[in-house]
Structure 1
Amino acid sequence: MPDQLEYCGLLTRWGTVVVKGPIPGIMKHVDLESLETSDDCCPFYTTGLRIQTGVEGFGPFIPRHEPEYTYLKARDGYLTAHLDGTVRIFQEHCNPWERFLVLTPAELEKLHLLVTNDWIDETGRKIRRTDIRILEDFQIQVGDNIFSISESFTSDSGDAVVRTREGQPCEIVLWNDRWMPHCYRLFRPLVYFCSFGEFYMNTLELSLQSLSEFGKYDGDILIVTDLTEDTLRAHCPSTALFRCHIWNLYGQANLDFYAARFRVTEWKPLYRFSPLLYMDTDIVVDADINTSFETIFESNSISAQMEAFSTIQEGISVGSELFKMDPRSKGLDLDKPGFNSGIISIPRIEDFDFILKIIHSCIYRYSEKTKNRKSLSHFDQSIANYIGTITSSVDLTLLTEKVSYYWNNAIRKNDSQMSERPQMLYTGFVHFWGTGDRTQAMSSYMQSIRDQVPFEGWSTDNSESD
């Protein structure tokens, strides 16, 4: 189209957007939240003093701007959004049905972002996408508040105020009475797994099943893997239960695979999400965890599962060797438990990606110094405990009360006596690290939940490994 200056989209007075119809030469209007992206809106272009479209029989239009809307007049009449969902040049005179709000691509994208996501308001209350509605006459309801779309999103009132992380929007400001700001933080949880090779596919599939069936989670997941998408989905059909993202990452040795959970910051779409929950593939989710994400989001620390029997003073699996080599450790309280890195919660990636990057870098720097990639027991976990302690960035309270673990034929609570957990107590997560046949143990436990019978543990005839 000649002399194109700027693409724009049209919001109707019904709170819908104009899109191309199912056949050429037809336009209609639909709910913005029904579109996958704002780019699905029908493209209009400002050319000089006119607005044009590539749809045959429509335009050019001469816009008549009012404070909160615009009328679009063509030679044969005004553009009209009808109740039946069609958009036609119909009226000779302008009425409410002929009112439109002309939005730039950036404005339309931010409005689409708002109506298709969950948010956390200033009080810490979760605003679900079902609590957000575009109303008639260019108003939008967000929870209990109603805002003017023009005042919050159009350049006439100043560009929409949005905070970004790595170029991805994470917070948006809406304006009441044009000048009073209301801040909303993006709430889009992500559960991620690292699974390399086909050996762990069985446990990954069970973990995904439990996340959906008992955890009641149906949001975004990320699987970091060296397998192709087709291979992964063939082994793990439960990926279809979620909005599944796959990041192919390759390594040469175990160290590369263990470090991947901290390397996740290199996956650029990560910054569209908060909070994050990392899970090993041998974890069964045994209770609804959706409200846990709100608690994670509002927390001020990374959290992990306590290893009550491994103090950082003496436990090599939680970094005791590293603390002994660092003279700064003399000023730290080392007579306390470390943590297991099999489940990790990260409240807001923009606040804690720095810690993940330090852990990842330290893993490789230490291996370079020692010239030995196998020089530490539980390599990534040791480094994570070391960095988490010296930066005071990890608190064990949040996850420890939600996570139990399987060891020596029983599910156990996190205390130094390793006492058995009551058999029908479902707290959120069970980490099956203590059996040689994780697949069967996980499967048996999940069936016991379905049958609502006590889980009697795993046969003592089977071999066990830490």
Structure 2
Amino acid sequence: METSYILSDHGMVLSYEEGKIIQKPLKNILDFEDLVIIKNVGFGSYSIQIKNEEIFSFNSHLTHHNKAVDDHFIKFEYLDNKVVFFKINDNYLSSFPDSSMNTLPEAITWERFRILSEQELKRIIYLSQNSLLIDEKLYSFSSASTEVMNFGDMRIEFNDLFSDINKNITEFTFFIDNFPFFAKIINPLFVYVIFGNGDILSQFKMSIKSLVDVGKYKGDVLIVTDHEEEVQELCKDYNLRNVIIIQATATATDRLDFVGIRVRMLASDIVKSYSPIFYIDADVLIVKDINPTLVKSSKFEKISAQLEDYLYFNNKIKHNISVGSTLFNECPFEINDVNGFNGGVLFVPSGEKFQDIFKIAYIMMVKYTHRNGRESIPFYEQSILNYILYKSNNFSPEPVSSITELSCEEVKKDAVFIHYFPAGGERTTHMKNDIKELGLC
């Protein structure tokens, strides 16, 4: 038996705090160091220990945790393969609704516990901290027991969650009565890449402020930057769930590094558990509550960005170097004369599902620039992504094209993002003016 964790019939995990065993809610578990574990001693005997002190055990009265030699081994009474009673001497371990623990002479309901592997525990913690989209309705975690997790009126059995069919991180299938239901995990991530000098930090400051204050976003943000201290300072006052900052001062030295790093990030395991993902440039403002977009976008199955559709320009992928014509003309494929897209707002439905396509894009970028030079691809990763996503049929203009506006155009009522790159050197000034209109000064 591998190291196992203990879930009470109140849907909480046994933990050690201030000299006693308690039950910790799933949402409150940040690490496993103080969690109680079950160790198989051998011959049907088990010992209760703390994760970070696996040499010593709890005594049989569970009053202290540093017993050098167990005074009594625990016995399991199996109710099924994973649900048990713990028998200690002649009593049974019992959990109470107030999070306390005790032992009682009889085993009824509160004496039921579920044994969880580390992988299973990580899975249910992840689910408890995110929302589920089922039949276009959003559900939040409400409670659990040794048998089920409850998301509102959706009762999801552990046997379904841990079924071999459910191999994906960000979606799963479960049954209620005789009917299957399909759940998507809503665990959003916004990604920024902040490199170089000039106005980039000023633009990022306005962008992140609009994301939180106007967009009402409280999820995770991933920032790759060579300005770690400044970015930390800008983010510290926002009520974001998690800010992941990757410092890249010594690892990014030229333009290809600065812009190509986002492809590598989207190909990494860092983003694998997120859905949906939005990459946005620093010169993008959010002008509407983002949360309905996070839900609505979940019905889209392809990567999306804003189509380039500018007057007086040929915006076609076959003809415009900014959207991949250099690569297309060198190795063409069958496609209509479609417009290319701008990568300043990039929607990825699932980090897990599209990890491989970003790995392919990264490998192509390295191979091509190694042979032809690091400046050989006009518009760098934007050209690569246009070529790869169109060729693999993984691109759709929606949802991003309908909700993204350029700063040089009249803002449509459905706009969520405004991208300021057409303003060139004046983009910071334009952003400041719009920030004032949004009342964010």
TM-score class, shorter-chain normalisation, is 0.7 to 0.9
Matched residue, 2:342: 340
1: CA distance between counterparts of 2:115 and 2:376? 62
Return closer, same or farther for 1:391/1:65 CA change in 2, 3 Å cut-off.
closer
Q: Could you say what secondary structure the match of 1:374 adopts?
A: coil
Residue 89 (structure 2) pairs with residue 93 (structure 1): no
Q: How many residues align?
A: 413
Residue 55 (structure 2) pairs with residue 46 (structure 1): no
1: CA distance between counterparts of 2:173 and 2:388? 35
Q: Is the 8 A contact 2:214 2:289 kept in 1?
A: yes
Q: 1:243, CA displacement in angstroms?
A: 1.1
2: CA distance between counterparts of 1:384 and 1:84? 53
Q: 1:376, CA displacement in angstroms?
A: 4.5
Residue 437 (structure 2) pairs with residue 438 (structure 1): no
Residue 96 (structure 2) pairs with residue 82 (structure 1): yes
Q: Is the 8 A contact 1:304 1:339 kept in 2?
A: yes
Question: Could you tell me the percent identity over the aligned residues?
Answer: 23
Q: Is the 8 A contact 1:15 1:31 kept in 2?
A: yes
Matched residue, 2:150: 141
Q: 1:152, CA displacement in angstroms?
A: 4.2
Kindly provide the CA deviation profile for residues 7-64 of structure 1, in whole angstroms up to 9, marking residues without a partner as x.
3333323333322132x2x222232222224664322323332332223433532222
Matched residue, 1:55: 58
Matched residue, 2:284: 283
Matched residue, 2:116: 103
Matched residue, 1:464: none
Kindly provide the CA deviation profile for residues 215-242 of structure 1, in whole angstroms up to 9, marking residues without a partner as x.
11110111122344x3431355456634
Q: CA RMSD in A?
A: 3.0
Return closer, same or farther for 1:75/1:118 CA change in 2, 3 Å cut-off.
same
Q: 1:110, CA displacement in angstroms?
A: 2.8
1: CA distance between counterparts of 2:361 and 2:83? 52
Q: 1:404, CA displacement in angstroms?
A: 0.9
Q: Is the 8 A contact 1:205 1:237 kept in 2?
A: no
Matched residue, 1:362: 364
2: CA distance between counterparts of 1:395 and 1:180? 32
1: CA distance between counterparts of 2:115 and 2:354? 39
1: CA distance between counterparts of 2:346 and 2:147? 42
Q: 1:207, CA displacement in angstroms?
A: 0.8
Q: What code does the residue aligned with 2:154 have?
A: N
Matched residue, 1:202: 202
* 1:15 equivalent among 4, 8, 11: 11
Q: 1:163, CA displacement in angstroms?
A: 4.2
* 1:315 equivalent among 320, 335, 344: 320
Matched residue, 1:112: 125
Q: Is the 8 A contact 1:214 1:288 kept in 2?
A: yes
Kindly provide the CA deviation profile for residues 246-275 of structure 1, in whole angstroms up to 9, marking residues without a partner as x.
223422210221212212144322111122
Residue 210 (structure 2) pairs with residue 214 (structure 1): no
2: CA distance between counterparts of 1:264 and 1:28? 39
Q: Which runs of 5+ in 1 are unaligned?
A: 154-158, 413-419, 453-466
* 1:128 equivalent among 110, 117, 140: 140
Q: Could you say what secondary structure the match of 1:126 adopts?
A: strand
Q: Is the 8 A contact 1:161 1:172 kept in 2?
A: no
Within-5 A mapping of 1:142-291:
142-149=151-158, 151-152=159-160, 160-161=163-164, 163-164=166-167, 169-176=169-176, 182-199=181-198, 200-228=200-228, 230-237=229-236, 241-249=240-248, 250-291=251-292
Q: Is the 8 A contact 1:286 1:426 kept in 2?
A: no
State which drifts further: 232-241 or 47-56: 232-241
2: CA distance between counterparts of 1:231 and 1:126? 36
Q: Is the 8 A contact 2:326 2:378 kept in 1?
A: no
Q: What is the TM-score with the length of structure 1 in the denominator?
A: 0.78
Q: 1:181, CA displacement in angstroms?
A: 5.4
Q: Which runs of 5+ in 2 are unaligned?
A: 49-56, 63-71
Matched residue, 2:78: 65
Q: What code does the residue aligned with 1:218 have?
A: K
Return closer, same or farther for 1:95/1:429 CA change in 2, 3 Å cut-off.
same
Return closer, same or farther for 1:119/1:38 CA change in 2, 3 Å cut-off.
farther
Q: Is the 8 A contact 1:201 1:236 kept in 2?
A: no
Q: Is the 8 A contact 1:299 1:347 kept in 2?
A: yes
